[in-house]
Structure 1
Amino acid sequence: MTGVESGVIAPLPMEKFAALEAAPGIIHTFLGRVAGLDVQVDRAQALQRLDSFHRTAREELGLDKRHVIVGEQVHGREIAIVDERTPAPVAGVDGLITASPDVCLGVYVADCCAVYLAEPEKRVIGLLHSGRKGSELGITTAAIERMRTEFKCDPAKIVVQLSPCIRPPLFEIDFAALIVAQARAAGVTQVHDCGICTGANPDRYYSYRMERGKTGRMLALLALRS
């Protein structure tokens, strides 16, 4: 991992997931901790300090011309269907679904899970912010149902990938297991969990709990290839 030296923007660790790499027509990444960057501030300040790094990552992925859409992330289960005309951030939602190749979906996390959904045949993607509350409210179930009813997606053809997130014993609830169970109950057979705990890997990830709320945010990005 490259640190921040002399004010020069260092490359971000851009993680990829094998299941999404194998899905045709999908661009994705999970952006981790920037070594050496002081983010022991509130969320707004942390995101401001991370912004140039995140913009550089989008450029490297060829997504710098896309309309980037994020949700307000209120720890709920509401989901928005979005396209290039949608203003961002989208108020009151934790989930985003699109069939537009002109947008890039984004989710910020720091212990919560970023849940990637992709149906390559229909060219429909979704990205969810799912922590304890969102998982217990069933945001993954709701997203799969929206993809099925509004885009005619077959759940058996949807790929679901879970990002790193906090897990027991560092957190009292295994909400990653709940997300996996909900996806399978909805008919998804291609469910993949990286199994990595953010709290146990402070050199790679930000952890809201372990850093007592003064920390940065990882960024999940998901888009369709043009």
Structure 2
Amino acid sequence: MVDLPFEQFPALSAIGICRHAFAQRIPGIDVSHDKPEVLKRLDAAHRGIRNGIGVDDWLLFTAQQIHGDRIAIVDRADCSGSRVGCEDKQFPGCDGIITNQRGIVLGVYVADCCAVYIVDSKTPAIGLVHSGRKGTELGIVPNAIAQMSDRFGSDPADMIVQLSPCIRPPDYEVDFAAEIVRQCRALGVKTIHDSRVCTARDLKRYYSYRAEKGKTGRMLAVIGLNPTSAN
């Protein structure tokens, strides 16, 4: 079996309460189509990556992603995370998801926008946000952090925030990754990690909507709380 390309972030791996991945460019798949068709073509590979980190049998919750600021909240596990009689769910009109439930996995798709992972290891609770230029201007990451505090009692000072590879200057006119970091610090988040990788600069590893003129694939970001605190 061909190894499927994905990366993991040391800061998240070190926490020990969650599983995560950031899928890279999948070789050999024609992605010069619209987004729905592209996601269909990438689905088997993305499922393989989820299998590789041990979450293939967890329910997958995704967001529709409309470049807005709405956050979906999963505060109870439908069917207790079991796939028996259940289906993966997409939240319409949302660009991020937060949860305190174990044994389910959150997912967002990106191709230049940033996937922002948020982990509160004390509560515990997690969030995953799709934030590009528009979402950052609307403050979607601060919204997710605020809702984690309101709904789960999370303290921003206890959170770890990880930014995925995304497009950056000079390949894009706005450094929204830097603004996300600033927004997090303003809310009291002390531990922030930025991959500092530009998707448009490495088309062998990543898809880039800007560099590939809109005809490209999507990287899948996923994160889920372990069923128990141990890996």
TM-score (norm 2): 0.92
Unaligned runs of 5+ in 2: 79-86
2:58 pairs with 1:66: yes
Q: Which residue does the alignment assign to 2:214? A: 213
Give, in whole Å, the separation in 2 of the partners of 1:172 and 1:163. Answer: 18
From 3, 28, 32, the equivalent of 1:11 is 3
Q: Which residue does the alignment assign to 1:92? A: 93
Q: Which residue does the alignment assign to 1:194? A: 195
**Residue 75 of structure 1 contacts residue 130 of structure 1 at CA under 8 Å; is this kept in 2?**
yes
* Aligned-residue identity in percent: 50
Q: Which residue does the alignment assign to 2:131? A: 130
**Residue 208 of structure 1 contacts residue 214 of structure 1 at CA under 8 Å; is this kept in 2?**
yes
* 1:87 to 1:55, Cα distance in 2 relative to 1, 3 A: closer
Letter in 1 for 2:109: Y
Give, in whole Å, the separation in 2 of the partners of 1:87 and 1:96. Answer: 14
Give, in whole Å, the separation in 2 of the partners of 1:31 and 1:103. Answer: 18
Letter in 2 for 1:133: K
C-alpha deviation, 1:13, in angstroms? 1.4
Q: Which residue does the alignment assign to 1:103? A: 104
**Residue 118 of structure 1 contacts residue 124 of structure 1 at CA under 8 Å; is this kept in 2?**
yes
From 18, 25, 30, the equivalent of 2:22 is 30
**Residue 59 of structure 2 contacts residue 88 of structure 2 at CA under 8 Å; is this kept in 1?**
no
C-alpha deviation, 1:87, in angstroms? 6.4
**Residue 165 of structure 1 contacts residue 196 of structure 1 at CA under 8 Å; is this kept in 2?**
yes
Letter in 1 for 2:61: I
C-alpha deviation, 1:75, in angstroms? 0.2
Q: How many residues align?
A: 218
Give, in whole Å, the separation in 2 of the partners of 1:209 and 1:10. Answer: 29
* 1:224 to 1:185, Cα distance in 2 relative to 1, 3 A: same
Give, in whole Å, the separation in 1 of the partners of 2:17 and 2:103. Answer: 13
Give, in whole Å, the separation in 1 of the partners of 2:197 and 2:88. Answer: 33
**Residue 109 of structure 1 contacts residue 217 of structure 1 at CA under 8 Å; is this kept in 2?**
yes
1:196 is paired with a residue whose SS is: coil
Q: Which runs of 4+ in 1 moved over 3 A?
A: none
Letter in 2 for 1:152: G
RMSD: 1.2
**Residue 11 of structure 1 contacts residue 57 of structure 1 at CA under 8 Å; is this kept in 2?**
no
From 31, 55, 58, the equivalent of 1:39 is 31
Give, in whole Å, the separation in 1 of the partners of 2:93 and 2:118. Answer: 20
Which whole-Å deviations, capped at 9, do the CAs of 1:62-85 have from their partners, x for residues lacking one? 111111000000000100111432
Give, in whole Å, the separation in 2 of the partners of 1:12 and 1:105. Answer: 20
C-alpha deviation, 1:24, in angstroms? 2.3
Unaligned runs of 5+ in 1: 1-8
Q: Which residue does the alignment assign to 1:118? A: 119
**Residue 109 of structure 2 contacts residue 130 of structure 2 at CA under 8 Å; is this kept in 1?**
yes
Which whole-Å deviations, capped at 9, do the CAs of 1:160-179 have from their partners, x for residues lacking one? 00000000000000000010
2:77 pairs with 1:52: no
C-alpha deviation, 1:40, in angstroms? 1.0
2:21 pairs with 1:20: no
